[in-house]
Structure 1
Amino acid sequence: MSFRLAAYAVCVEDGRVLIARHVSADGQSTWTLPGGGVEHGEDPFDAVIREVAEETGCTAVVESLLGVDSRVISAAEARHGTEHQNVGVFYRVRITGGRLRPEPDGVIAESVWTPLPEVASLLRSSLVDVGLALARTAPATGHVAPVQVGGLVRH
């Protein structure tokens, strides 16, 4: 089984959420939250700030820890054909500067502010739904029910 620790930014302002369009090697686009893998020895708190800057061109500050999500993706569904566990640490962040731009030499083609009601109609990573549920409900446990994958929601 492969394993990944990642940190994700949930930035909601004026009824909009900041999301990023990830383009895979085969050219498929999926909307996701800014964020990504925590490097060896890196604190997830620092990783989310770094990832926002790399992927969006903006600077961010962490306002709060929202929660943690752990999911196991079966070998049949995983990109590389082996069972995979992703542990995501979700933070509420606020953008403090910079300008939205594509990720240089990366997989994020664009980042945009999207009205919350429009998110449901987008082909998106389940991480978007998890992050928004954590931001909306602020559970004391930092945990929300797993998001159903299917239709417009992907791993």
Structure 2
Amino acid sequence: MTNPTHPRVGVGCIVWKGDRVLLVRRGKPPGYGEWSLPGGSQELGETLFQAAAREVLEETGVTATPTSVLTAVDNIVPGPDGGILFHYTIVDVVADWAAGEPQAADDVLDARWATLAEAEALVAWEPLRVVLRMAAQARGLLG
């Protein structure tokens, strides 16, 4: 959604399998080539949990069961002309792994499980690193 007229609701899904989180390497802007959470735009008539589960399945082939909303973050990307190139409000949903192993599909270049330390080393966008630490703390993986 380039040159938007209003913010778009996106969903990011924090899928846990034990102490590992599911990461994807983005295959389209914004953040092309960067490691992130599986996710995307919520569709009309779809709940946040439905959107989260659908995006995880489409992007990775993993079946996930959403359990709660953790937080929301803004991703506002300015354009070269001073306008807004992208504006997403991303609701981060926590989910448990149900089935499947990650394989890159849909808008994704790569997909993998990562420990929190591995995720923090891979993820470049600081707001997402904060979200990952919040999720790990809520899961009891941090002191």
TM-score range, shorter chain: 0.7 to 0.9
* Matches for 1:1-155 after TM superposition, within 5 Å: 1-24=5-28, 28-69=32-73, 71=74, 73-76=76-79, 82=84, 84-103=86-105, 106-126=106-126, 128-138=128-138
For 2:10, the aligned partner's letter is: A
Asked if structure 1 preserves the Cα contact closer than 8 Å seen for 2:13 and 2:37, the reply is: yes
Runs of 4+ in 1 over 6 A off after TM superposition: none
Q: Secondary structure at the match of 2:112?
A: strand
For 1:95, the aligned partner's letter is: W
Q: Secondary structure at the match of 1:102?
A: coil
Q: Distance in 1 between matches of 2:72 and 2:60?
A: 22
**Residue 74 and residue 21 in structure 1: after superposition, are their counterparts in 2 closer, same or farther (change >3 A)?**
closer
- Does 43-52 or 112-121 show the bigger shift? 112-121
1:115-138 deviation line (CA, Å, top 9, x unaligned): 211223225344532431331345
Asked if structure 2 preserves the Cα contact closer than 8 Å seen for 1:2 and 1:84, the reply is: no
Equivalenced residue count is 133
Q: Distance in 2 between matches of 1:18 and 1:83?
A: 27
Which structure 1 segments of 5+ residues have no match?
139-155
Structure with higher helix content: 2
Q: Secondary structure at the match of 1:40?
A: coil
TM score, norm. by length of structure 1: 0.71
Tell me what 2:141 maps to.
Answer: none
Asked if structure 2 preserves the Cα contact closer than 8 Å seen for 1:37 and 1:47, the reply is: yes
For 2:136, the aligned partner's letter is: R
For 1:7, the aligned partner's letter is: V
Which structure 2 segments of 5+ residues have no match?
139-143
What is the Cα-based RMSD across aligned positions, in Å? 2.8
Q: Distance in 2 between matches of 1:114 and 1:68?
A: 22
1:77 offset after TM fit, Å?
Answer: 6.8
**Residue 92 and residue 74 in structure 1: after superposition, are their counterparts in 2 closer, same or farther (change >3 A)?**
closer
1:83 offset after TM fit, Å?
Answer: 5.0
